[in-house]
Amino acid sequence: MDPTSCAHERDDELTGATILVVDDDRCTLSVLERVLEKEGCTVLMETSGSAALAVVGRHHVDLMLLDLRMPGMDGLAVLKQIVSANRSLPVVMMTGYGHLETAQEARKLGACEYVTKPLSTHLLRQALRDSLRSSRVGQRAPG
- Burial class from Cβ neighbours inside 10 Å (0-12, 13-18, 19+) for residue 32 reads buried
Question: What is the pLDDT confidence band of residue 141, given thresholds at 50, 70 and 90?
Answer: very low
By three-state DSSP, how is residue 93 classified? strand
Residue-wise pLDDT tens digits, 91-117: 999 988 777 788 889 999 999 999 999
By three-state DSSP, how is residue 125 classified? helix
Torsion on CA atoms 78, 83, 86, 91, rounded to nearest 10: 80
Domains of the chain plus CATH, in order, are: 18-136 (3.40.50.2300)
**Residues 6+ away with beta carbon under 8 Å from 110:** 79, 82, 83, 91
Asked if residue 41 lies in contact with residue 65, where contact means CB atoms within 8 angstroms, the answer is: no
Of residues 119, 141, 131, the one with CA closest to residue 29? 119
Residue-wise pLDDT tens digits, 23-41: 999 999 999 999 999 999 9
Asked if residue 124 lies in contact with residue 2, where contact means CB atoms within 8 angstroms, the answer is: no
Residue-wise pLDDT tens digits, 57-71: 999 999 999 999 999
Note if the pTM is more than 0.85.
yes
Asked if residue 92 lies in contact with residue 66, where contact means CB atoms within 8 angstroms, the answer is: yes
